[in-house]
């Protein structure tokens, strides 16, 4: 089953109306980069970072599908590499998996994880067993990002470094023509799975952050 959305423009930004010229942190092309890029996270807005064109976006996974098996890695508190699998995360469980185009990427991703951390108690109260963030980054970067965001165990930060899971669900995002060095990453999404079967799939346009937040999941629980 394929879900497909055709877009004239694929943007990293949110549709939030507060997107204004005051945006500082961005993935803009070099010529428009301010001399000092601020990574500060504005309280309630997600500045428009990167614009690029694409004729269509699509995913191969859809509501009703079983998630493909895949292995993720992470570093434990001792700094040892550990792995976990889609089935470990989802079998017999209610699981929320969400993805970002990259650890440390400005504003939107820097807000996505904290939103789930903040709502993790509410999600668990609604029966969610697993809350995990997936990114096409290596486990060392994910660990550093976890530390930077001061995340404990509210949300698992998992590495899909080779993009195997991301590709298996058709969510790869090719940013290889952008000068920031991201290469092929994951589109932003949030999904809810019950015993490994997708119940809700909020797939964003590129890295946009409009309806893949924790509250959007809470709203359907």
Ligand X SMILES: *[C@@H]1O[C@H](CO)[C@@H](O)[C@H](O)[C@H]1NC(C)=O
Looking at the DSSP assignment, which residues form a beta bridge with residue 184?
Answer: 174
Q: Whose Cβ is closer to ligand X: residue 160's or residue 205's?
A: 160
The span from the CA of 111 to the CA of 92, in Å, is 29
Q: Whose Cβ is closer to ligand X: residue 93's or residue 167's?
A: 167
Tell whether residue 85 is a contact of ligand X (CB under 6 A): no
Cα-atom radius of gyration of the chain, to the nearest Å?
16
Concerning whether 108 is annotated as a catalytic residue, the answer is yes
The span from the CA of 165 to the CA of 61, in Å, is 11
Q: Which residue among 58, 162, 176, 215 contacts ligand X (CB under 6 A)? A: 162
Least distance to ligand X, CB of residue 167, Å = 5
Tell whether residue 24 is a contact of ligand X (CB under 6 A): no
- DSSP classification of residue 1: -
Of 46, 108, 133, 171, which is the active-site residue? 108
Tell whether residue 167 is a contact of ligand X (CB under 6 A): yes
The region that residue 206 occupies, defined by phi over 0 for left and psi between -120 and 50 for alpha, beta otherwise, is left
Closest CA to 207 of 51, 29, 32, 38: 51
Stretch that binds ligand X, among 85-93, 122-130, 136-144, 160-168 (CB under 6 A): 160-168
Active site residues: 108
Binding site residues, ligand X, CB under 6 A? 162, 164, 167
């Amino acid at each position: 089953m394929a879900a497909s959305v055709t877009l004239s423009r694929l943007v990293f930004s949110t549709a939030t109306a507060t997107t204004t010229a005051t945006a500082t942190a961005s993935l803009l092309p070099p010529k428009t980069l301010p001399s000092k890029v601020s990574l500060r996270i504005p309280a309630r807005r997600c500045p428009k970072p990167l614009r690029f064109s694409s004729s269509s976006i699509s995913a191969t996974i859809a509501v009703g599908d079983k998630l493909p098996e895949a292995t993720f890695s992470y570093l434990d508190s001792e700094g040892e590499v550990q792995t976990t699998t889609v089935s470990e995360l989802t079998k017999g469980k209610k699981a929320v998996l969400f993805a970002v185009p990259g650890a440390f990427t400005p504003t939107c991703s820097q807000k996505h994880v904290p939103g789930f951390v903040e709502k993790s108690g509410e999600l668990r109260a609604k029966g969610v067993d697993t809350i995990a963030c997936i990114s096409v980054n290596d486990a060392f970067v994910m660990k550093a990002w976890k530390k930077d965001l001061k995340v404990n165990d509210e949300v698992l930060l998992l590495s899909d470094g080779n993009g195997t899971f991301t590709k298996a669900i058709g969510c790869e995002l090719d940013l290889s023509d952008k000068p920031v060095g991201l290469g092929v990453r994951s589109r932003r999404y949030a999904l809810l799975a019950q015993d490994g079967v997708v119940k809700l799939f909020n797939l964003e346009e590129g890295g946009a952050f409009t309806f893949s937040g924790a509250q959007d999941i809470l709203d359907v629980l």
